[in-house]
Every structure is written in C-alpha cells, then in structure tokens.
Amino acid sequence: MAIAHEFAYHRAASLHEAVEVLTRAGPGAWVLAGGTDLVPWLRDDAVHPELVVDIKGVPGLSDITVEDRVLRLGPLVTFTELIESKLIEDHLPLLAEMAETVASHGVRNRASIVGNICSAVPSCDSGPALLVLEADIEMLSAEGTRSVPITGWFTGPRATVRRPEEVVTGITIPLPEGEHGGVYLKLQRYEGEDLSQAGVAILALEGNRYRVAFGAVGPVPSRAPSIEAHLEGIDLTAEAIAGAKALVGDEISPITDMRATKEYRARMCEVMLGRGLEAAVSRRDGTGPAYGTRLV
C-alpha cells in the first residue's frame, strides 16, 4: 500500500538549516531520522506532514563520545551502533542491553534512540533506560539551545515537550560515579521482535542507592520514587525486595490491550523488579550475569 498523503521533502545540510526550514514551515513539518516509525505512520495516514526534513545528510550526527565523564549520543545514533560501540560497552552496557531488545536487526540498523524517544510510544525501550541514567535531551531552535531532563521529556502517549520546530541535537548522560550495575528487563510475547508488554530498568549505585523505572505500564515511561526511597541505603535482602515489590502497584498504571492484560503486566513487573534488583546489584559487585543475558 502506497503512502496516499503528499508532502514535500527537504534534505538539510546542517542542523541550523533544519531548524530554519522547520521554523518557516510551522507545525506541519516533521523531522526524519531513521524513519522506522514515521514511514509506517505516513502509510497508516496517522500523521499528515506538509514537509519532511531529513537530517541524515548532516555530518557527525552518529557520534558517540565521552568527555568530562559525560557520554553523548548524536541524534542519528542507531540501536545497532549502541550495541556495537566499545564506549557503550565500557561505560554504560545497560544501553546495549536495552538496544538488543528493540525490534529486529534490520530495524535496529536504521532506528535511532533519539527517534525512539521523539516517537514516545509508552512501550519505548529507551525511556526506562534513559530515566535511570538521568539523561538530558539537548534541542536546538531559532531561539537557541535548551536541555531538558528525561524526567520532564515525556508528556503523554506519543507526546513530548519538544516543539515542532525544535531539533534534538543529542542525548547527554552523566556517567555514574563509583561502581554501578544496570539492567533492562523486557517482557515480550516471544523473544525477538516484539514490543514491550512491560519493561523495567534499574541502576544500582554505590552506597545502596537505586534508580528504578518502568515502561509500557503507564501513559509514559516513569521512575518509581517510592521504590527507590524504600531501598535507599539498605542491603538487598529478601525482605527489602519483598517490600519493593509491594510498592509496584502504586507506581504503575497498566492497561489491558492486545499484548497483555493489566493484571499480567502488574504481576510481571513485580517479578521483573525482583530479578532485576538482584542482577543490577550483582553486576555492580562484579558477580552478575553478563549484560545481554535474558532474565525474563
């Protein structure tokens, strides 16, 4: 089935040029990166841009760098590039573990992590991982640059704080201090190529501090402050895990849809939280399962 909707196409040579074109065109203009969400949405007649601005001609947007203990992802970094990056493996293997669960190989070769959070579907895998890493999203507009913490990024299903004329220029992540261990668990109907039924990301830090985030069990991916507060400063005993699991119901608001019932999602979030906490702590302490090991 062809795309029925007509639109103009512009290949930007720089991000400043992209911003100029987007600003002139108004809200009917869309940014095109990997296209793995935008093209099917166009085909489904779900979005109706007058203009599509392709940023893939802009050099340098696929860079992954670490400078002054801040890891930076360019706006075209794909999930495959996250999986293959030595910098990611050395500094934040949680991101590679998450990336390996996204769609399938042929999609990961094109799909960008920035596109994933701009599409902002509630089940996006990047959301929980970036939440526990306390990432910031950098944007450029005619007014200049601004940076938004990921906690304030998602505003609803398929909605973010990004204005139509703004271009995301990168994601920055302050590298956690000291020993740390991360984990991303994704519940799927079958392994390989499925959207998340529920996702849990956890980062275990020194001093028994924990960050916990859920995806696909609410309108937006979100941190779980009550669980983090409950675990703060204590060793991960069976009692501590049981207490954390008991708080899951307060932190999520799952729905029933074609992929799972809300009851199944809620119960599995407890199971995944327990397994994930043990994995994150043991990874922090150097004894955990290798990153990429399936834990659910």
The residues binding another protein (CB under 8 A) are 1-9, 11, 32, 34-36, 39-40, 42-43, 52, 54, 56, 80, 103-107, 109-110, 191-193
Q: Decide whether 1 or 238 has the Cβ nearer to another protein.
A: 1
Where residue 178 falls (left for φ over 0; alpha for ψ -120 to 50; beta otherwise) is left
Instruction: Label residue 256 exposed, middle or buried (CB < 10 Å: 0-12, 13-18, 19+).
Output: exposed
CB 179 → another protein: shortest distance, Å?
29
CB 195 → another protein: shortest distance, Å?
10
Percent helix, strand, coil in the chain, to 5, is 35, 25, 40
Pairing status of strand 51-54 against strand 29-32: parallel
Q: Decide whether 103 or 231 has the Cβ nearer to another protein.
A: 103
Q: Decide whether 104 or 145 has the Cβ nearer to another protein.
A: 104
Q: What is the rounded CA–CA span in Å between residue 115 and residue 171?
A: 11
Calculate helix-pair angle for 262-284, 238-246, nearest 10 degrees: 150
Contacts for 262-267: CB closer than 8 Å, 24+ residues apart = 264/197, 265/187, 265/197, 265/198, 265/216, 265/217, 266/217
CB 48 → another protein: shortest distance, Å?
11
Q: Decide whether 44 or 285 has the Cβ nearer to another protein.
A: 44
Q: What is the rounded CA–CA span in Å between residue 24 and residue 26?
A: 6
Q: Decide whether 5 or 16 has the Cβ nearer to another protein.
A: 5
Check: CB of residue 218 under 8 Å from CB of residue 128: no
Phi and psi angles of residue 266, each rounded to the nearest 5 degrees, phi first: -65, -45
**Closest among 181, 255, 191, 245 to 217, alpha carbons compared:** 255
Q: Is the dihedral of CA 144, 222, 103, 101 positive or negative?
A: positive
Run of H or E including 8:
strand 8-11
Q: Decide whether 13 or 234 has the Cβ nearer to another protein.
A: 13
CB 53 → another protein: shortest distance, Å?
11
CB 111 → another protein: shortest distance, Å?
9
Contacts of 14 (CB under 8 A, 6+ apart): 58
CB 105 → another protein: shortest distance, Å?
6
CB 9 → another protein: shortest distance, Å?
4
CB 292 → another protein: shortest distance, Å?
10
Check: CB of residue 21 under 8 Å from CB of residue 62: no
Q: Decide whether 109 or 208 has the Cβ nearer to another protein.
A: 109
Q: Decide whether 81 or 251 has the Cβ nearer to another protein.
A: 81
